[in-house]
Amino acid sequence: MRFRLAILFGVLLLLQGVAIALTIASPLIYATWALLTLAAAWYGVYHLGWRDVERLARAMRGDDQEHPPEGGDRRLSARRDEVGDLARALEAKSAALATLEERLSDAEATIRQNEARYRDLFDANPHPMIVFDVETLEILAANDRAVTHYGFTRQQFLRMTVGHLIPEPMTGGATEALERMALDRERPVETLHRKRDGTVVAVEVASHRIRFAGRPAALAMCVDITLRKQVEAENRRRTEVLEALYATAREHAESLSLREVARSVVDAARNRFGSSAVWLARPVGEHRLEVLAACPCLQTAWERREVPLDPASEQAMHGRTAVAYDPTNPGWPEVWWKNEDGSDPSRLPAAVAEADWALALPLVSRDRSFGVLHVAVREPEALPFGPLANGRGHRSREESEALLTSFALQSAAALVNADLHEQLQRTAEILEQRVKERTAQLEEANRELEAFSYSVSHDLRAPLRAVDGFARLALVQYGKAIPEECRTLLESVRCGAAEMTALIHSLLEFSRSSRQALHERELDPKDLVGAVLDGLKQDLQGRTVDIDIGELPPCMGDPVLLKQVYANLLSNAVKFTAKRESARIEIGAMPSDAGTVYYVRDNGAGFDMARAQRLFGVFQRFHRSEDYPGTGIGLATVHRIIVRHGGRIWCESAPDQGTTFYFTLRER
Amino acid sequence: MSDGPVDIVLVEDSEHDRELALHVLRNVVSRDRIKMLHDGVAALQYLLPEDDREGQRASDPPRVVLLDLKMPRVDGIEVLRRLREDARTRRVPVVIFTSSQQAGDVAAAYACGTNSYVVKPVDFDEYSARLRIVVDYWLNHNLDTVDQGVSE
């Protein structure tokens, strides 16, 4: 621009110079020239700059209608003079302004977003939230839930401090308040808040520091935990009850006597189930009760005493339901208030006087009505609700009754058990006594029998000797002189005597097998078998008998008696295989669950197992004496001996197929 | 019954047993050397007399006394005890000859000083054999202490 104006002024000066020259020449020409010069100057100024400046001004004013077309715009900005500068500056500022406007609208959008988020986070939060100043404790914001929860309006909140929410007066000032609001604490704090209507509620508070409206503040979230606290208290109560019941059950389990259990019931009722006075009784006869246990706080020592049946007890036991009544009523059970000598007291026992009500609880178990439990209950003081108290709520009367009924059921079970146990013991004792007497009688009878059989056997021997002896002598001395028949008769006499001797011998053995004391020691059956077989050598002479002796493990037993067993069994085996061409006898043992089983097996005559029942009876013979002689006592003796050794004996056989005898002895 | 010196004294209360024994003993010694007594009282009277046939008795004690246990009034153990208490009969061989096999009787007999305890079998053949063996032993094999003149 400078250049152009400069040119213009130069030209004008020149022209003015010319004008002056001309003026001197002619004033008219000067005037014309001056006019022309002015016009030219005006035109030049206007076109050179004034118009564009006007355009600029318009553009600056924001008059869009006059916004020059692009071409014009470029023209202005392209100018290298002041106007061009202005135009360029204007362009730049416009661009900057446009950017700013953009940014502004972005920022506004963000702010709106944030506001929405803020509303979600704070205002719409389901838990009450407030913002408060950490220095002044003034409440700076409260969300919707805080409003509904606490009952204050938002305006009221903004006029309050945090202290207004706290029910008790604070002594610690701001520090305490901050503590209560759990500021800077790692975990939320359980505390109490007061609502607008004065209700105190339990809340869990958590706070953290923020900046709010340029001040150091804190955001506090207060979760209402009233319900949770109630549930906790309820659970705790329930647990206490269960623990009490469990502990009582254990105590009951440990005592066996009825009286002990009754006392433990009374103690538990007092100590664990909150009764102030207790007594327990069972019916005797139709109209009386026998007190089994009573707490010492009553007027007298009622234990073991009898009292008349009172209506409450009767109703409880008959209807099998708890009956509530007032213990201080003279018409009710005398146990509560009468003196020892039956007189009326001047004062009730404290425990009864303080009681609010009493309960008669039936003691029923397994459908047996055992008796009745009376408890006097004092209503517990209404404890302040809340976690800062002991968490215990106030137990209602219905709850107490229900609890005591459970307790009564449990106690009844224990009492009935103890009672049954005692009865059982008494019965057992009686039975034991009877058994003892019976055993003594049996032993006595046994002894007599054995003594009898012994003395009989013994005393029979002398006359037998005489019979045999004189018959023999007759034969010896007069044998030649007496006829053959007579000799035969005398021989028969001797035979008879011999048989009888054998019989008596067996009987003596049998009797000895029971009477003789058992001298048990470790022994090897092989030795016994060897000795027995030695003794049977004579019977085996002239016969082919194959004797197979297997492994015989050592055992505990009386050697004399067990030798008897083998002697009898083997002599039987030898005897009953007499008619076999090749007799075979096996002596052995085999293991089993019940211990070692010893056996003696022969391939002799055998017998029908159907008659095996009587095999071990005395004087039982399964074969004719012509075929196989024998006394029939041998096996009875063997049986006795085995039984005395704590073992078992049995056999297997079939006619003509041999016999096996098995026996076991006492487990070592 | 003779009152002279005898070899065998048999104390037995059963008549049958006495007879049977006699049959056997007669084949061992002559009858007059056998004294049969029917119970403990008689035995004591014979063996331990109170009167003054003492001298004879002391020098001629029997060679063996066969003593039954089960006797009425005074039983064999009591007789044995009395025999052992008295110096006259202390060393006379005594054989308890009885049907009892009870361990108690055996123990008591030996405790009271019997020389031998023999059980009477029922079978007569065995009975006579045993009796004969026993008597044979005491009369013919066993040496008397008295004969040897061994002083007290």
- Report the pLDDT value the prediction gives residue A52, as an integer from 0 to 100: 72
Q: Quick check: A389 pLDDT over 50?
A: no
Query: Within its chain, how far is the Cα of A86 from the centroid?
Result: 93
Cβ contact A302:A290 at 8 Å? no
Any residues with CB less than 8 A from the CB of A181 and at least 6 apart, and which? Answer: A132, A162, A189, A205, A207, A218, A220
3-state class (DSSP) for residue A451: helix
- Report the pLDDT value the prediction gives residue A392, as an integer from 0 to 100: 44
Q: Quick check: A394 pLDDT over 60?
A: no
Cβ contact A403:A273 at 8 Å? yes
Cβ contact A124:A200 at 8 Å? no
Q: Does A388 touch chain B (CB under 8 A)?
A: no
- Report the pLDDT value the prediction gives residue A605, as an integer from 0 to 100: 85
* Binary contact (A462, B124; C-beta < 8 A): no
B133 CB-contact burial (10 Å; exposed 0-12 / middle 13-18 / buried 19+): exposed
Give the mean pLDDT of A540-564: 88
Gap between the Cα atoms of A613 and B116, Å rounded:
46
Q: Does A468 touch chain B (CB under 8 A)?
A: yes
Beta bridge partners of A291: A281
- Report the pLDDT value the prediction gives residue A358, as an integer from 0 to 100: 87
Q: Quick check: A456 pLDDT over 50?
A: yes
Cβ contact A265:A410 at 8 Å? no
Gap between the Cα atoms of A76 and A83, Å rounded:
7
Query: Within its chain, how far is the Cα of A417 from the centroid?
Result: 23
Token output for A352: 């009864």
Q: With contacts defined as CB-CB under 8 Å, which chain B residues touch A494?
A: 124
Nearest to A468 among B14, B19, B122 (CB): B122
Q: Which of A431-445, A628-642, B85-99, B127-141 has the lowest mean pLDDT?
A: A628-642
Q: How far A581 CA lies from chain B's nearest CA (Å)?
A: 32
Q: How many CA atoms lie within 13 A of A239 on its CB side?
A: 8
Q: At what angle do helices A559-576 and A634-644 cross, to 10 degrees?
A: 150
Q: Quick check: B8 pLDDT over 70?
A: yes
Q: Which of A20-34, A237-251, B12-26, B138-152 has the lowest mean pLDDT?
A: B138-152
Token output for A520: 């048990």
Report chain B's C-alpha Rg in angstroms. Answer: 14
Strands A323-325 and A357-365: antiparallel
Gap between the Cα atoms of B47 and B86, Å rounded:
10
- Report the pLDDT value the prediction gives residue B3, as an integer from 0 to 100: 65
DSSP 8-state code for residue A167: S
Using the structure block, give the residue that is written with the tokens 């207790």: A278
Q: With contacts defined as CB-CB under 8 Å, which chain A residues touch B19?
A: 470
Q: Quick check: A82 pLDDT over 90?
A: no
Query: Within its chain, how far is the Cα of A344 from the centroid?
Result: 50
Q: How far is CA A40 from CA A27, A53, A115, A340, in A?
A: 19, 19, 65, 147
pLDDT digits (tens, 9 = 90+) for A506-523: 777 777 777 777 888 889
Q: How far A661 CA lies from chain B's nearest CA (Å)?
A: 31
Q: Quick check: A421 pLDDT over 80?
A: yes
Gap between the Cα atoms of A529 and A520, Å rounded:
17
Token output for B152: 């007290």
DSSP 8-state code for residue A300: S
DSSP 8-state code for residue A161: B
Give the mean pLDDT of A393-399: 64
Q: How far is CA B115 from CA A583, B112, B146, in A?
A: 47, 10, 15
* Binary contact (A468, B16; C-beta < 8 A): no
Q: With contacts defined as CB-CB under 8 Å, which chain B residues touch A465?
A: 16-17, 20, 99, 120-122, 124, 127
* Binary contact (B20, A458; C-beta < 8 A): no
Give the mean pLDDT of A318-347: 77
Look over chain A and give the mean of its residue pLDDT values, rounded to a whole number.
82
Q: How far is CA A58 from CA A44, A50, A68, A295, A423, in A?
A: 21, 12, 10, 111, 124
Q: How far A487 CA lies from chain B's nearest CA (Å)?
A: 16
Give the mean pLDDT of A380-402: 53
Q: How confident is the model at residue A70 (pLDDT cuts 50, 70, 90)?
A: very low
Cβ contact A162:A222 at 8 Å? no
Amino acid identity, position A527: D
Beta bridge partners of B116: B95
pLDDT digits (tens, 9 = 90+) for A214-238: 889 999 999 988 888 888 877 887 7
Q: Does A515 touch chain B (CB under 8 A)?
A: no
Cβ contact A568:A554 at 8 Å? no
DSSP per residue, B18-58: HHHHHHHHTTTS-GGGEEEE-SHHHHHHHHS-SSS-HHHHH
Q: Quick check: B88 pLDDT over 50?
A: yes
Cβ contact A605:A574 at 8 Å? no
CA dihedral B100, B105, B111, B116 (to 10 degrees): 10
Q: How confident is the model at residue B2 (pLDDT cuts 50, 70, 90)?
A: very low
Gap between the Cα atoms of A438 and A130, Å rounded:
92
Gap between the Cα atoms of A348 and A367, Å rounded:
36
Gap between the Cα atoms of B6 and B59, Å rounded:
12
Any residues with CB less than 8 A from the CB of A576 and at least 6 apart, and which? Answer: A602, A604, A605, A606, A623, A628, A659
Tell me the backbone φ, ψ of residue A137, rounded to 5 degrees.
65, 10
Cβ contact A590:A559 at 8 Å? no
Across A227-254, b (16+ Cβ under 10 Å) vs e yields eebeeebeeebeeebeebbeebeebbee
- Report the pLDDT value the prediction gives residue A64, as an integer from 0 to 100: 54
- Report the pLDDT value the prediction gives residue A662, as an integer from 0 to 100: 93
pLDDT digits (tens, 9 = 90+) for B37-67: 998 999 998 888 876 555 445 557 899 999 9
Q: How far A453 CA lies from chain B's nearest CA (Å)?
A: 14
Q: At what angle do helices A70-78 and A51-61 cross, to 10 degrees?
A: 110
Helical segments of A304-396, H only? 311-319, 350-353
- Report the pLDDT value the prediction gives residue A368, as an integer from 0 to 100: 81
Q: How confident is the model at residue A608 (pLDDT cuts 50, 70, 90)?
A: confident
Q: At what angle do helices A484-515 and A397-478 cross, to 10 degrees?
A: 150
Give the mean pLDDT of B92-99: 93
pLDDT digits (tens, 9 = 90+) for A164-180: 888 877 666 777 777 77
Q: With contacts defined as CB-CB under 8 Å, which chain B residues touch A470?
A: 16, 19-20
Q: How far A653 CA lies from chain B's nearest CA (Å)?
A: 35
Cβ contact B79:B44 at 8 Å? yes
Give the mean pLDDT of A370-386: 69
- Least Cα distance to A506 among A585, A462, A557, A567 occurs for A567
Gap between the Cα atoms of A363 and A411, Å rounded:
7
* Binary contact (A465, B99; C-beta < 8 A): yes
Strands A323-325 and A368-377: unpaired
Cβ contact A53:A86 at 8 Å? yes
Q: Quick check: A591 pLDDT over 50?
A: yes
Q: Quick check: A399 pLDDT over 50?
A: yes
A158 CB-contact burial (10 Å; exposed 0-12 / middle 13-18 / buried 19+): middle
Nearest to B120 among A465, A473, A498 (CB): A465
* Binary contact (A462, B123; C-beta < 8 A): no
**Which residue spans within chain B are E strands per DSSP?**
8-11, 34-37, 64-67, 94-98, 116-119
Amino acid identity, position A351: A
Q: How far is CA B86 from CA A47, A77, A349, B58, B82, in A?
A: 193, 179, 93, 11, 6
Token output for A388: 């800062």
Across A305-331, b (16+ Cβ under 10 Å) vs e yields eebebbebbbbbbeeeebbebebeeee
A95 CB-contact burial (10 Å; exposed 0-12 / middle 13-18 / buried 19+): exposed
Give the mean pLDDT of A246-274: 81
pLDDT digits (tens, 9 = 90+) for A103-133: 999 999 998 888 788 777 888 888 999 999 9
Q: Quick check: A330 pLDDT over 80?
A: no
pLDDT digits (tens, 9 = 90+) for A356-377: 888 899 999 888 889 999 988 8
* Binary contact (B23, A473; C-beta < 8 A): yes
Q: How far is CA B129 from CA A143, B76, B121, in A?
A: 134, 23, 10
Q: How far B82 CA lies from chain A's nearest CA (Å)?
A: 26
Q: Quick check: A471 pLDDT over 80?
A: yes
**Which residue spans within A435-567 are E strands per DSSP?**
521-523, 545-549, 555-557
Gap between the Cα atoms of A32 and A38, Å rounded:
10
Cβ contact A220:A132 at 8 Å? yes
Q: Quick check: A6 pLDDT over 90?
A: no
Rounded to two decimals, the pTM is: 0.43
Helical segments of A181-255, H only? 226-254
